[in-house]
Amino acid sequence: MEGYGRKVARGGSQLKLVSLQAQNFKKLKLGKPLQFSDGIILITGLNESGKSTILDAILYALFGRVIRP
48-51-55-58 Cα dihedral, nearest 10 degrees: 110
- Give the residue, 6 or 25, on which the prediction is more confident: 25
Q: Are 47 and 59 in contact (CB under 8 A)?
A: no
Per-residue pLDDT for 44 more than 90? yes
So what's the pLDDT on residue 46? 96
Percent of the chain with pLDDT over 90: 28
> Cβ distance 53 to 45 under 8 Å?
no
β-pairing verdict for 2-7 and 13-20: antiparallel
Helix (H, G, I), strand (E, B) or coil at 48: coil
Q: 63 pLDDT band (50/70/90 cuts)? A: confident
